[in-house]
Chains A and B, each alone.
Chain A
Amino acid sequence: MNVIWAIIRKDFQMEFRTKESITAMWIFSLLIFVIFNFTFEISRLLLLQISGGLLWVAFIFSGMLGLNRSFQVERENGNLRGLSLTPADPGLIYFGKFLSTTFFMLIFEALIFPLFIIFYDIQLSLVTLWIIPISILGTLGFTSLGTILSAVAIHTKQQQILLSLLLWPLITPIIIWAVKTTGDVLAGELSAAFQPVMVRMLVFDVIFTTISYLLFEYVVQE
């Protein structure tokens, strides 16, 4: 636990000092909301249908910025190699990076969600609270794969392009599920498929987190 906590603390210390990721993510999300809100004249019904996708576009694209930045600092002075040379279990190093990115994204999502509600005048109800487990499950799926694939891409010159190429096809299912369930929640009605989809997201997270944990040692080897 010490290793995981040390990595999370280190990542947050650096982010609060530089505010590089949060600034970029915030501006990016704001731009998405502004463009969709003022550029396209859409009816309320259509807005409710696309709102889930809109929110997750902001979450995921901003998350990509955060993920890239998170591993950029590990690349700068050979730090990932430095981490791998310590006696710390590579799996714990993976969990440290995975959880720090996840916490960071969840904090960001909690900040951006009220803005989304205001911009699109979403009616709040008790059902809206389901957005919390959906965000957690969707974000975990994104960061579990994003963390290991960032470690793969870190050794290449085209880090950002490679990460996108590797990550997008793999996270497509969980993004689709997250968009669908978020759409239900924002519309204020949970469909019959809601619960099975949530279970699928949970299973996806467990499978990919376990695989990534087991493979991380081989990924960081030269």
Chain B
Amino acid sequence: MNQPVIIAENLRKEFGRVVALRGVSFQVEEGAFFTIFGRNGAGKSTLLSIISGMASATDGRIRVFGEDPGERTHRHRLSVISHESFLYDNLTALENLAFYGKLYQVENLNERMHAVLDQVGLHHRRFDLVHTFSRGMVQRLTIARAILHNPDLFLLDEPFTGLDQHATEMLIGLMDDLKSQGKTILLTTHDLQIGLRLSTSFMLLERQRVVETGTSDGLTAELLREKYFSLVKTSEAGQ
């Protein structure tokens, strides 16, 4: 059995009187592709913020690579891709990668930048400013930024938002590549079809609680959809 990369126990998060997570517990093992499904406001992004160390839990325990996410020692092993690119519009693709490469202290940075730009098909646009890129190209450069330091854990927060079909397929292809390399991936999405296609295990969040967990083996999007709506109804009835 693989080592757990993420261990969350009874996580609770409050923003003043608003409760964003209510006792969430789960584990993600090394090499797993773990998808968190849930509606808007279910608590997916809050959970990712806590895992990435950008927010702290009000209560409960969380360990990433065996450490508190607030510690910065494991940050070089982690990468976040969200609908925000973290890229500077007035820098070129290469300048953006050079900047992040220095912050992550990437070895052989020059070679590595060219390699990742090649991987995402943007090498020919390396000297172009990011503000001249289409949404799909920005997302491809975001991926290049995310894989630049060769992390072990990817946190993907609704990465398909605003992408066209071509860019979506490209991102899925890249996730498949990462999965085959044994990287651990945690994806949040409300798209059951894509989530199930990629994941090895999943968790359903509804009203800031875990309502279902399981493996994706033999589960179709239709089955999960039925299950999902029945759980949502039960949850709403219980309120």
| Interfacial residues, chain A to chain B (CB-CB below 8 A) | 2-3, 5-6, 9-10, 13-14, 17-18, 73, 76-79, 81-89, 221-222
Q: A77-B85, A221-B56 are in contact. Are A83 and B103 (CB under 8 A)?
A: yes
Give chain B interface residues in 29-50, CB to chain A under 8 Å.
Answer: 49
Instruction: Summarize A's interface: helix, strand, loop or mixed.
Output: helix
Apart from the given pairs A76-B89, A82-B87, 10 other A-B contacts in the complex at a CB distance below 8 Å: A2-B105, A14-B90, A77-B88, A77-B89, A79-B88, A82-B100, A84-B54, A87-B76, A89-B72, A221-B56
B84 touches A221 (CB 8 A): no
Q: Is B102 an interface residue (CB 8 A)?
A: yes
* B54:A221 contact, CB within 8 angstroms: yes
Does B26 touch A at the CB level, under 8 Å? no
- In the complex, B127 has a CB within 8 A of chain A: no
User: A89–B103 Cα gap in the complex (Å)?
Assistant: 10
Tell me whether B103 and A86 are in contact (CB under 8 A): yes
Which A residues are in CB contact (< 8 Å) with B72?
Answer: 87-89
Main SS of the interface on chain B?
loop
For B99, the chain A residues whose CB sits under 8 A away are: 6, 9-10
A residues less than 8 Å from B100 (CB atoms): 82, 86
Q: List 13 A-B contacts (CB under 8 A).
A: A5-B102, A6-B102, A6-B103, A10-B88, A13-B91, A14-B90, A73-B90, A77-B88, A85-B52, A86-B75, A86-B103, A87-B76, A88-B72
A-B complex: 6 closest residue pairs judged by Cβ atoms? A82-B86, A78-B84, A87-B75, A6-B102, A86-B103, A222-B55
**When the two chains form their complex, are residues A79 and B91 in contact, meaning their CB atoms are under 8 A apart?**
no
Residues from chain A with a CB closer than 8 A to the CB of B105 are: 2, 87
Cβ-defined contact, B49 with A222, below 8 A: yes
Closest to B77 in A: A87
Q: What A residues does B75 contact at CB under 8 A?
A: 85-87
Q: B90: which of A17, A78, A89 is its contact (CB, 8 Å)? A: A17
- Given A2-B105, A221-B56, A77 and B90 contact (CB-CB distance below 8 Å): no
Tell me how far the C-beta of A26 lies from the nearest C-beta in chain B, rounded to whole angstroms.
19
Residue of A6, A81, A86 most packed against chain B (CB within 10 A): A86
What residues of B have a CB within 8 angstroms of the CB of A10 in the complex?
A: 88, 91, 95, 99
Chain A's nearest CB lies how many Å from the CB of B55? 4
Pair A222/B54 contact, Cβ less than 8 Å: yes
Q: Is B200's beta carbon under 8 Å from chain A?
A: no
CB pair B84 A81 closer than 8 Å: yes
Compute how far the CA of A3 lies from the CA of B72 in the bound complex, rounded to whole angstroms: 15
- CB-defined contacts of A85 to chain B, threshold 8 Å: 52-54, 75, 78, 80, 86
B102 lies within 8 A of A2 (CB): yes
Which of chain B's residues has its CB closest to A82's CB? B86
Query: CB-nearest residue of chain B relative to A11?
Result: B88
Nearest CB of chain B from residue A75's CB, rounded to whole Å: 10
Is B56 a contact partner of A79 (Cβ separation < 8 A)?
no
Report B155 CB to chain A, min CB distance, Å.
9
Bound together, the chains give a CA A85 to CA B129 distance in angstroms of 23
B99-130 toward A: CB 8 Å interface, digit per residue (1/0)?
11011110000000000000000000000010
